[in-house]
């Protein structure tokens, strides 16, 4: 009911995030995990990950190849690998399923399981409760956070990567497919940090530049003591305001921390930046959240 929601909405606007435990069922989480297992089992290693490079120049071309792979991944299902998991011929040095760091960025559009979750009635209902009038889905990712790599995610704001005019139009839906704990790398937030605009932007580099994207501005030094951890059980959803500062720490546990996450933009009265790495394409205009 609207009554019960309003304190939560107030909390979201105050903090810049909202934890909704048990938003998805265990069965829904398991269906996403088994679907990803199938996708990984059929995965082909992209050619740019296979070539043995020798000279510095070839190495840069190699990077350019992989950056193009990233830049054109907005309307495809693509694989991003942890460093050091492939030999120079593109063979896996460790089990395949532990080698992938994430899969993106159009699972919501091209995979039936993830599409169904993204557009599920309860997500649409939540969008309406949040007052979204013309929400569109801009990207999705499956993140593995496997323990053998223990990578942390530095403090950042999602709007640095998904910039809009005006700000405040990007919303992340972060779904825990396993319990996310302080040991295996749950998210940490600075409450209220979504009200100060953004300090850094990742933009497409000018054509001919040596990298495909560059950063404008810099991430301030955040005070570690300001972050609070948000552990969440399997099936829980964290709503993330596009400008709230968040991070995750190393996964120091023996278990993985699988997550499906997608970003929604309120398209009404909003301009998507032409400088964003991610751009809608004729093949995949940003689909409406409401079906």
Q: Indicate which CATH number applies to the domain containing 71.
A: 2.60.120.620
Domain membership flag for residue 149: yes
Residue 281 domain-assigned (yes or no): no
| 283 located within any domain | no
Task: Give dist(CA 230, CA 236) in Å, integer.
Answer: 11
Sequence-ordered strand ranges (E) for 124-279: 135-143, 153-156, 164-165, 170-176, 187-189, 200-204, 213-217, 228-230, 237-241, 246-248, 259-266, 271-272
Inter-residue contact 112 to 64 (CB < 8 Å)? no
Residue at 218 is within a domain = yes
The tens place of each residue's pLDDT in the chain, 291 residues long, gives 455 558 999 999 999 999 999 999 999 999 999 999 999 999 988 887 877 766 777 777 777 778 888 999 999 999 998 888 888 888 899 888 888 999 999 999 999 999 999 999 999 999 999 999 999 999 999 999 887 666 788 999 999 999 999 999 999 999 999 999 999 999 999 999 999 999 999 999 887 777 888 999 998 999 999 999 999 999 999 999 999 999 999 898 988 899 999 999 999 999 999 999 999 999 999 999 998
Question: Does residue 148 lie in a domain region?
Answer: yes
Report the distance separating Cα 257 and Cα 180, nearest Å: 6
Beta strands in the chain (DSSP E): 17-20, 77-81, 100-105, 135-143, 153-156, 164-165, 170-176, 187-189, 200-204, 213-217, 228-230, 237-241, 246-248, 259-266, 271-272
Q: Are 46 and 79 in contact (CB under 8 A)?
A: yes
Query: Can you give the residue range of the structural domain that contains 91?
Result: 7-272
pLDDT at site 230: 98
For 134-155, give the secondary structure using H, E and C: CEEEEEEEEECCCCCCCCCEEE
- String of b and e for 115-141 (b: at least 16 CB within 10 Å)? bebbbeeebbebbeebebeebbbbbbb
The answer to whether the beta carbons of residues 100 and 40 sit under 8 Å apart is yes
Q: 267 with 135: CB under 8 angstroms?
A: yes
Please count the structural domains in the chain: 1
Note whether residue 223 is domain-resident: yes
Q: Answer yes or no: is 21 within a domain.
A: yes
- Region of residue 279 (left: phi > 0; alpha: psi -120 to 50; beta: else): beta
Tell me the C-alpha distance between 187 and 27, whole Å: 23
pLDDT at 205: 87
Q: Give this prediction's pTM.
A: 0.93
pLDDT at residue 83 in the model: 80
In a domain, residue 278? The reply is no
């Amino acid at each position: 009911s609207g009554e019960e929601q309003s304190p939560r909405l107030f909390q979201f606007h105050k903090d810049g995030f909202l934890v909704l435990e048990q938003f998805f069922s265990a069965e829904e989480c398991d269906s996403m995990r088994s679907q990803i297992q199938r996708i990984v089992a059929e995965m082909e290693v992209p050619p740019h990950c296979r070539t043995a490079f020798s000279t510095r120049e070839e190495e840069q071309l190699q990077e350019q190849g992989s950056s193009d792979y990233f830049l054109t991944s907005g309307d495809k299902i693509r694989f991003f690998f942890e460093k050091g998991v492939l030999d120079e011929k593109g063979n896996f040095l460790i089990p395949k399923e532990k080698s992938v760091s994430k899969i993106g960025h159009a699972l919501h559009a091209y995979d039936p399981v993830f599409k169904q979750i993204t557009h599920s009635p309860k997500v649409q209902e939540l969008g309406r409760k949040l007052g979204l009038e013309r929400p569109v889905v801009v990207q999705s990712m499956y993140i593995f956070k496997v323990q053998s790599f223990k990578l942390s995610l530095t403090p950042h704001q999602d709007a640095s990567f998904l910039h809009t005019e005006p700000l405040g139009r990007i919303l992340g839906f972060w779904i825990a497919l396993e319990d996310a704990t302080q040991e295996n790398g749950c998210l940490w937030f600075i409450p209220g940090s979504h009200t100060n605009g953004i300090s850094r932007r990742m933009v497409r580099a000018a054509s001919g530049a040596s990298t495909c994207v560059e950063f404008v501005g810099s991430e301030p030094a955040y005070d570690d003591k300001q972050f609070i951890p948000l552990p969440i059980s399997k099936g829980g959803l964290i709503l993330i305001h596009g400008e709230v500062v968040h991070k995750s720490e190393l996964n120091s546990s023996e278990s993985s921390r699988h997550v499906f996450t997608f970003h929604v933009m309120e398209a009404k009265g909003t301009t998507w930046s032409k400088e964003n790495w991610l751009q809608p394409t004729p093949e995949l205009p940003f689909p409406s959240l409401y079906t």
